[in-house]
Structure 1
Amino acid sequence: MGQVDHSFAAASESVAVHALAKACELVVVVRLVNMSAIALAYGEPVAQRLRVDLASKAAAMADVLGAAAWSGEDLEMVIADADGFREKLDCVGANDLVLAHEVERRLRGRFFADQNQEVIPCLVTIARDIESEDDADEVLDAARRLAFTRQPDIPDLSRDRQAVAQYRRDMAAAVLAVELAANGGLALLWQPVASLDRSADEDEVLYWEGLTRLVDSNGQMCLPSSFIPALERLGLVRVLDAYNVSQTLSRLERDPSLTLGCNISAQSVLLDGWWAEIISRLQSDRTLAQRLVLEITESASFPGISLAVDFVDHFRRLGCRIAIDDFGVGHAAFRYIAALQPDIVKIDALFLRRAASGDSAQDHAAFKYLVGLAGSYAAVVVVEGIEHEAAAAVARDAGAIWGQGYHFGQPSRCLIGRQMPTTPLMPPVSARGGFGQGDLLRAI
């Protein structure tokens, strides 16, 4: 199967947009990342219908204020009256990130490849104001480049038919997951990250991690393995991550005594419009940020070191804590850990299981080394997969202070254990700054 030709985009429209850009105040570039994939999986006419649908919505937004046209995989909007455009979109005073998200929200809508199969477009939207001293063409070109660099990796369907079949299965799973999340079907089950110290009468909890579940129409809970991989392969997991973090913030707002963590995919670790609402809520109430731990899971690759560092720095400046989940088995090399400077590193349960089996002294030594290595990168090390006291003893022997697993509580809608008395979880630190184990111990 060969590459798809999208030359049906009218060249005259692109030229018109290019000419208008010289006199405009705002440019918006919307990249349809999965355009070729949709054409290969569902047919070229479906891809063309999607382009027409998106262009029609963009033209309605621009109206008399500007113009919109396709240029390859990019839907480009040039706006002559930036203030009027923001007013029309109810974004008066909004920054570029918020405006881009609102444009993307209005472009989205239910689109069907046929009467049975819904398709979700994977969009990357960049909005940039043009100041009087700016060259409009250069701003437009910069927006195009930024949209390109921020697009997630998606499967190459031109290689074989099995890839096409997998894409269609993934899309069906993604559509169901997004629909459930949008209609109240997202559930968070809480599991404590607890002290390994046995001197306390009850488990002392550093924070509770929210484990994502989707509840279907029959009331059955779906495990993440049934939908997260599909969303990551399609480049759409950020949609679910935004719902996940938003729900966690709502729980924090209801109970100011809690410190909570929630998972986000490494693929979502870049500042885009999907984070605009989350950032606004955290800016409005910094105590929420101080009680929020963002746990980055490594089941997908990061978008790039510089983008990931910008994301982590931004949320750390707001007061959030950053954790790297499943350390030792994920996509991220140690260079990402060193660059991101996480506050918390969580060691994947695989290493504890091997060390606790007692079959190999080498496994035990490797686990102890990994705990020490993680401690050199972060102030807090959490050992995952502690199912019983014997495993907890192995973790303590390796030098770990914190653990997580069924030994401390199964994932539950209830929060089990005693929150550490001092919140926020750790004292605020400046972006890119750090603190040692002694600082942490003084904080708690």
Structure 2
Amino acid sequence: MRRLSRSPQKTPDTQNDPRVAALPAPELPSARVSEALHGDRIVLAFQPVHRAHGPRTRPAFHEALLRLRLPCGRVLTPGQFMGPVMDTPLGRALDRRALTLALDTLAAVPDLRLSVNVDPRTLEDPGWQALLRARLQPCPALAERLILEVTEHAVLPGPAALAAPLAQWRAWGISLALDDFGAGHTAFRQLRDWRFDIIKIDGAFSRDVHRDPDNQALLRALVGLARHFEALSVAEAVEDPADAAWLAACGVDALQGYHLGRPTLCPRWPGEPAALQAR
């Protein structure tokens, strides 16, 4: 691992906070998503990622998860509003807002390390790239605490297409994480070419792994791949202490899931009396 020591979604989270709405369908229309974006009702929830070994007194980092607050105060998760906008310019705008909120949080909480989700298509968005550059140039120290977590629901562009910005991001100290590995579009060739710093193993493999021989074999293989590429391995959707124990024994570096901590809109950061967005 190049920037995060080894020694140190995503679990489904519609019920992670009493204010989160568990709405089955239909998804929120794109017009209402746009209203929320322009009405400052796009917020972040934060979920800790803990080291699998040693005391868990302090998370290795937190993941920033996008949320949409309805006018009534109820809060929606991405599965309830991202579908209609994911392939549109509004999807890119939501990624820009998530980045802005994440960088605001990093600037306000000096000891925090934070990952923020980015659609692969957003990585090529000139507006998103310009925002990242404009925010980090005057505050370069933020870069070493920022993790760009690339989601797997769209095909990753070839690294050659992003050679210049990737080189710049790495030079600044930004880490790259691959989210939901094993369940999306990423081929092993892309895993080799992108050289991710963190590989997050999809929860489908870690859930109930302590009693599932097939998933145990797959987990060992995925952990081996992460180790080969010198990446930190993170098991997602860890909801059971028996699963956490098995994953730690298997060699997973870090764990994320309800067993370790649910996402919350109002975390208490070290030295902070309450969350930045608790309003």
Considering the TM-score relative to the shorter chain, is it more than 0.5? yes
Name the structure with the higher helix share.
Answer: 1
Matches within 5 A, 1:192-203: 192-197=48-53, 199-200=54-55, 202-203=56-57
* Equivalent position of 2:251 in the other structure: 399
* Equivalent position of 1:261 in the other structure: 115
* Equivalent position of 2:161 in the other structure: 307
Structure 2: stretches of 5+ with no match in the other structure: 1-25, 272-279
* Equivalent position of 2:19 in the other structure: none
CA distance in 2, matches of 1:375, 1:308: 25
Instruction: Tell me the SS of whatever aligns to 1:284.
Output: coil
Q: Deviations over 1:329-382 (max 9, x none)?
A: 1112122221111111100110012523x14x2331121111111222243111
CA distance in 2, matches of 1:350, 1:299: 15
1:278 lines up with 2:100 in the alignment: no
- Of 58, 78, 87 in structure 2, the residue corresponding to residue 224 of structure 1 is 78
* Equivalent position of 1:336 in the other structure: 190
* Equivalent position of 1:379 in the other structure: 231
* Equivalent position of 2:34 in the other structure: 178
**Equivalent residue letter for 2:114:** L
Instruction: Tell me the SS of whatever aligns to 2:264.
Output: coil
Larger radius of gyration: 1
CA distance in 2, matches of 1:180, 1:310: 34
Give how far 1:247 is off: 0.6
CA distance in 1, matches of 2:162, 2:208: 31
Structure 1: stretches of 5+ with no match in the other structure: 1-168, 420-444
Structure 1 pair 248–260 and aligned structure 2 pair: CA distance change class (3 A): same
Structure 1 pair 337–253 and aligned structure 2 pair: CA distance change class (3 A): same
Please give the TM-score of this superposition, normalised by the length of structure 2: 0.81
CA contact (8 A) 1:253 1:288 kept: yes
Give how far 1:232 is off: 2.1
CA distance in 1, matches of 2:187, 2:166: 17
CA contact (8 A) 2:36 2:68 kept: yes
**Equivalent residue letter for 1:185:** R
Instruction: Tell me the SS of whatever aligns to 1:294.
Output: strand
**Equivalent residue letter for 1:306:** A
Q: Deviations over 1:87-130 (max 9, x none)?
A: xxxxxxxxxxxxxxxxxxxxxxxxxxxxxxxxxxxxxxxxxxxx
CA contact (8 A) 2:200 2:235 kept: yes
**Equivalent residue letter for 1:403:** L
Matches within 5 A, 1:58-73: none
Q: Deviations over 1:123-171 (max 9, x none)?
A: xxxxxxxxxxxxxxxxxxxxxxxxxxxxxxxxxxxxxxxxxxxxxx99x
1:188 lines up with 2:40 in the alignment: no
Please give the TM-score of this superposition, normalised by the length of structure 1: 0.52
Instruction: Tell me the SS of whatever aligns to 2:84.
Output: helix
Give how far 1:225 is off: 0.9
* Equivalent position of 1:327 in the other structure: 181
CA contact (8 A) 1:270 1:311 kept: no
- Of 90, 94, 101 in structure 2, the residue corresponding to residue 247 of structure 1 is 101
CA distance in 1, matches of 2:163, 2:188: 14
| Segment drifting more, 336-345 vs 177-186 | 177-186
Structure 1 pair 387–284 and aligned structure 2 pair: CA distance change class (3 A): same
CA contact (8 A) 2:49 2:63 kept: yes
